[in-house]
Amino acid sequence: MKIMVAMSGGVDSSMVAKLLKDSGHEVIGCYMKLHAKPGYHEENIRKVEKVGKFLGIETKVLDLQNEFNKLVYEPFVNIYKSGKTPNPCALCNRLIKLGKLLEFALTLGCEKLATGHYVRVENGLLKKAFDESKDQSYFLANIDKKALEYMIFPLGEMLKSDVKKLANQFPELIEIAGQRESSEICFVPNSYIEILQKHYNTDLPGVVRDTSGKEVGKHNGYMHYTIGKRRGFSVDGAHEPHYVVKIDASKNEIVVGDKDELKEDEFETENFNKFANLDDKFECFVKIRYRSEKLKAFVEVINNSAKVKLETPANGIASGQLAVFYDEDERVLASGFIS
Domains for the chain: give ranges and CATH numbers: 2-178 (3.40.50.620), 201-258 (2.30.30.280), 262-338 (2.40.30.10)
Average pLDDT score over residue span 166-182: 87
124 DSSP assignment: T
293 DSSP assignment: P
**Rounded distance between C-alpha atoms, residue 48 and residue 31, angstroms:** 7
Region of poorest pLDDT, from 12-21, 149-158, 222-231: 222-231
Closest by Cα among 277, 269, 266, 267 to 333 = 277
Burial 113-132 (b: 16+ CB within 10 A, else e): bbbbbbbbbeeebbbbbbbe
Average pLDDT score over residue span 76-91: 95
The answer to whether 32 is annotated as binding is: yes
155 DSSP assignment: T
pLDDT confidence of residue 8: 94
pLDDT confidence of residue 211: 94
The answer to whether 217 is annotated as binding is: no
pLDDT confidence of residue 183: 64
Average pLDDT score over residue span 321-332: 98
Sequence-distant (6+) residues with CB within 8 A of 154 are 15, 16, 19, 20, 114
Tell me the pLDDT band of 326, cut-offs 50, 70 and 90: very high
The amino acid occupying position 144 is D
Tell me the pLDDT band of 187, cut-offs 50, 70 and 90: confident
pLDDT confidence of residue 237: 79
**What does pLDDT average to over the chain?**
94
The answer to whether 137 is annotated as binding is: no
Whether residue 88 contacts residue 96, with contact meaning beta carbons closer than 8 Å, is answered with no
Percent of the chain with pLDDT over 70: 99
Whether residue 55 contacts residue 101, with contact meaning beta carbons closer than 8 Å, is answered with no
The answer to whether 13 is annotated as binding is: yes
Helix-strand-coil split of the chain, %, nearest 5: 30, 30, 40
Q: What H or E segment, with its residue span, contains residue 304?
A: none
234-270 pLDDT, tens digit each: 888 777 899 999 999 999 999 999 999 999 999 999 9
pTM for this one? 0.93
Torsion of CA 103, 104, 109, 111, to 10 degrees: -50
Average pLDDT score over residue span 149-166: 97
The answer to whether 336 is annotated as binding is: no
Percent of the chain with pLDDT over 90: 87
Which amino acids are annotated catalytic?
92, 186
105-115 pLDDT, tens digit each: 999 999 999 99
Region of poorest pLDDT, from 14-28, 185-199, 291-305: 185-199
Tell me the pLDDT band of 67, cut-offs 50, 70 and 90: very high
Average pLDDT score over residue span 117-135: 96
pLDDT confidence of residue 240: 86
Neighbours of 97 (CB within 10 A): 22
User: Considering all CA atoms of the chain, what is the largest pairwise distance in Å, rounded to the nearest integer?
Assistant: 69
Whether residue 207 contacts residue 256, with contact meaning beta carbons closer than 8 Å, is answered with no
**Rounded distance between C-alpha atoms, residue 6 and residue 183, angstroms:** 18
The answer to whether 244 is annotated as binding is: no
Q: Would you say residue 281 has pLDDT above 90?
A: yes
